[in-house]
A and B are shown apart, each in its own frame.
Chain A
Amino acid sequence: MADQPVLEVRDLSVEYRTARGVVRAVDGISFSVPKGAILGLVGESGCGKPTVARSITGVLHQSARIAGGELLLHGRDLVSGPPKAWLDARWREISFVPQSAMNSLDPVYRIGSQIEEVLIHRGGKTRAEARARASALFEMVGLNPGRLDEYPHQFSGGMRQRVAIALALALNPSLVIADEPVTALDVIVQRQILDVIRDLQRRLSLSMILVTHDISVVAYLCDQVVVMYAGRVVESGSTRDVLEQPRHPYTMGLTNAFPDLESAAHDLVPIEGSPPDLSQSLVGCRFQPRCPFSLPVCISDDPRTEVAETGARFACHRHADSERLRRQSRDIATWQRPQ
């Protein structure tokens, strides 16, 4: 615990310039990635999680900018530091596994030479060293090194995703960010890739941020979880704590909305409504319009982030009642008429 976290995100805000004005897609979020842990960043579309992933890798869209906050990599701030330091950190320190590996692989080059390219140009290896390292990486992610000389189209989706993981690990980064790494894959392949990630994380004691919309992926892989809603962190903590004892109604809703193989008898509980429009100025709790437990204070005041005795953090005015709300939240009737 005394270990310095690999990455600490402090009060990060990111804004987009759009035709409808400035949209604060990420609004003052904080969390940290402990060494050797997988942190799951969950939330639905429009909650800002890809923006967080992109800000950390330093590859934000042209129209976006970091409006405030710090990104401390091994205690050094990337945002206020020289741009060159951030550029140097990219791939060497912080690497990235995209949702679809096809985007990161060039179709006209052999896969092996693409990995070697990274090793030679970013990692300063000789060609022979790079070749050996590429073979080792292939074995690490469960691919046959004999296929290094093939082209991306000869690989299936799952194999390409393995290549993307190998590429991300090429320079022994201290942090790997994976953006929905299994979303586009079939169930079985998905599980195979999750197992590769799990296995590698154990062996290399990797630190990872896994961006996903899928609670079950978090439950399967992640040690820590950060739940985002409308650009804010609503709840964070150890996966067990957050998923088993959710303290924020949104997290309660998310865990109930997921169909479960073994408990299909009960009704799925939807969260009615949709996320707020972030181009408007918002007062109060952002989940309030969809929350069945909201009080007048939720409309007027922003909830402060509280810390539970377990170390979990959450931002809800009704945290004192969380035990009771949890029980109520499992009843579909609770969510059908938001107060």
Chain B
Amino acid sequence: MAAPDMAASRAGAAPGLAGKLARLLRDPFTVAGLTIYAVLIIVAVFADQLMTHDPGDILFRANGRVASNQPPSAAYLLGTTNLGRDVYSQLIGGSRIALVVGFTAAICVAAFGTLIGLLAGYFGGKLDAILMRLADLALAIPFLPFAIVLAGFSRSSTTNVIVAVVLLLWPNTARVIRAQVLTVKERAYVEAARVTGASDARILFVHVAPNILPLTFLYGSVAIGWAILTEAAVSFVGFGDAKNISWGYMLQDAFVSQALSRGSWHWFVPPGLCIILVVIAGFFIARGAEDVLFPKLRS
């Protein structure tokens, strides 16, 4: 039956990771997403050099008065807050928190979700049932309230935000990975590994996992955006880590100080824009990666 398809399947076989990467880089959306992430990383790394003031410092004018509510100028690139703090420096400093929160959470989500998905899909049976019910439970919990409760009960800290994101986001990754494991597991080469004496661990990590890793990256890249968004949301409602001035904290600060009604756009637009850009970047990359990983979904 498949004999006539042979040539086709041969030509359409996986061109390898390098080929996939090359195709990924031809997608303008992906390139845009990757560029945003690259800028974020560079800014975060060189934050100390880029900041013009300490974001926490209250600044004073030459006449000794607090430099509050200043419009953008050469001295204060994005103006100042109502308490005289430099918005531009806060924005730069916020990138560092975004980076730490986003990437840590994303790596944890991808690693944790992938591991659970692999175990559940490969071993099946009771283990699968238990892990997937846990996943259902986690998915059923409303995201933001949970993050707020967690932040509220324990000390509000960036770590807690990351923990909340990981606890709530792993099921998405785990489910998709599990489904993929179920199909890869049926491939003859997996049975071939077993019949030639490979252990379960070897089959799982050498034969199954590498064929699933692209999905892990996909879900990891989406999780970055989610994590940053969550941190912003938690900070915005006031449960953030007060010591760390994040973009969400800036928005909250601007909101409670009536920056909106005062039209201090230079204060609230930049952090908002940054959050939007970073979240969008995650989706752009996911979109491009999806095209490359599952070309059949399109057209």
Chain A interface residues toward B at CB < 8 A: 18, 44-46, 49-50, 99-100, 180, 183-184, 213
A49: chain B residues at CB < 8 Å are 4
Within 8 Å of chain A (Cβ to Cβ): is B5? yes
Q: With A and B bound together, what is the CA distance between A50 and B5 in angstroms?
A: 10
Closest 4 CB pairs of A and B: A46-B7, A184-B1, A45-B6, A45-B4
A50: chain B residues at CB < 8 Å are 4
Within 8 Å of chain A (Cβ to Cβ): is B3? yes
Closest to A274 in B: B7
Q: With A and B bound together, what is the CA distance between A45 and B1 in angstroms?
A: 11
Q: Name 18 A/B residue pairs within 8 A (Cβ), A-sorted.
A: A18-B11, A44-B3, A45-B3, A45-B4, A45-B5, A45-B6, A45-B7, A46-B6, A46-B7, A50-B4, A99-B1, A100-B1, A180-B1, A180-B4, A183-B1, A183-B3, A213-B3, A213-B4
Chain B interface residues toward A at CB < 8 A: 1, 3-7, 11
Closest to A44 in B: B3
Main secondary structure of the interface of A (DSSP, over half): loop
Q: With A and B bound together, what is the CA distance between A129 and B152 in angstroms?
A: 75
| Other A-B pairs beyond A18-B11, A45-B7, A184-B1, 14, CB < 8 Å | A44-B3, A45-B3, A45-B5, A45-B6, A46-B7, A49-B4, A50-B4, A99-B1, A100-B1, A180-B1, A183-B1, A183-B3, A213-B3, A213-B4
A46: chain B residues at CB < 8 Å are 6-7
B5: chain A residues at CB < 8 Å are 45
Q: With A and B bound together, what is the CA distance between A288 and B40 in angstroms?
A: 60
> Which of B1, B6, B7, B11 lies at the interface centre, i.e. has the most chain A CB atoms within 10 A of its CB?
B7
Closest Cβ–Cβ distance, residue B52 to chain A (whole Å): 51
Q: With A and B bound together, what is the CA distance between A80 and B88 in angstroms?
A: 70
Q: With A and B bound together, what is the CA distance between A100 and B1 in angstroms?
A: 9
Closest to B5 in A: A45
Q: With A and B bound together, what is the CA distance between A100 and B2 in angstroms?
A: 11
Closest to A211 in B: B4
> Which of A18, A45, A180 lies at the interface centre, i.e. has the most chain B CB atoms within 10 A of its CB?
A45
Closest Cβ–Cβ distance, residue B179 to chain A (whole Å): 23
A184: chain B residues at CB < 8 Å are 1
Closest Cβ–Cβ distance, residue B213 to chain A (whole Å): 25
Closest Cβ–Cβ distance, residue A12 to chain B (whole Å): 19
Q: With A and B bound together, what is the CA distance between A100 and B3 in angstroms?
A: 14
Closest Cβ–Cβ distance, residue B18 to chain A (whole Å): 16
Closest to A214 in B: B3
> Which of A18, A49, A100, A183 lies at the interface centre, i.e. has the most chain B CB atoms within 10 A of its CB?
A183
Closest Cβ–Cβ distance, residue A268 to chain B (whole Å): 17
Q: With A and B bound together, what is the CA distance between A184 and B3 in angstroms?
A: 11
Q: With A and B bound together, what is the CA distance between A183 and B4 in angstroms?
A: 10
Q: With A and B bound together, what is the CA distance between A184 and B2 in angstroms?
A: 9
Closest Cβ–Cβ distance, residue A213 to chain B (whole Å): 6
Closest to A275 in B: B7
Closest Cβ–Cβ distance, residue A63 to chain B (whole Å): 12
Closest Cβ–Cβ distance, residue B37 to chain A (whole Å): 29
Closest Cβ–Cβ distance, residue B125 to chain A (whole Å): 29
Closest to A183 in B: B1
Closest to A43 in B: B4
Q: With A and B bound together, what is the CA distance between A44 and B5 in angstroms?
A: 11
Closest Cβ–Cβ distance, residue A228 to chain B (whole Å): 12
Closest to A18 in B: B11
Closest Cβ–Cβ distance, residue B8 to chain A (whole Å): 9
A99: chain B residues at CB < 8 Å are 1
